[in-house]
Amino acid sequence: MMEKNKRETLILGVGNPLRRDDGIGPKVIRRFTESRTKKNNSYNLPPDVDLIDGGTDGLGLIEYLKDYKKVIIVDAIESGLVPGTIRVFTPEEAVININTDSLSTHGFGIAELIKLAKELNINPELVIAGVQPEDISYGENLSATVKSNFHELLETISKISQPV
């Protein structure tokens, strides 16, 4: 697909909403969608930003990457930081060891997705907005720590979705 045919920006929320903080990506997508549905767009997302809940289908996410110029991946990221910490980085800024650190808290993670995209010559501008989880046990609610930073995460993602 030629570059000019690609859509502008995708916010891709990944994670399992039944594993507490691991569901941060889908919760972000739901909140942004609700904001747009209410017609108030309180997070000021540009109109050409698409929102997709990618769930936990790591390998299937490659299909989304090829259609966009810029992809912002939102996920719970195991980075050894204080729970609730928000970290925004590009793949080039991450030290990724595919065998021992998939970055994501679920199966086929972001590191593998990035590696596969490079191998297939799928090269959107990638930005990862990660949150250090506190609790990925079974349950539907975010931990109090991650929930307390949820609005800040939404604002951060909104800022990086703006055209340059």
- Residue 61 belongs to domain with CATH number: 3.40.50.1450
| 7-20 burial: b if 16+ Cβ within 10 Å, else e | eebbbbbbbbbebb
| 8 Å CB contact between 78 and 19 | no
Mean pLDDT of 67-95: 88
Q: What pTM, to 2 d.p., does this model score?
A: 0.86
Structurally, the chain folds into a number of domains equal to 1
pLDDT in tens, 145-160: 999 999 999 999 999 9
Mean pLDDT of 37-63: 82
Tokens, residue 158: 């909104």
At 90 the pLDDT is 87
Q: Structural domain of residue 117, as residue ranges?
A: 3-160
pLDDT in tens, 83-141: 999 999 988 776 554 444 444 544 456 777 788 888 888 888 999 999 999 999 999 99
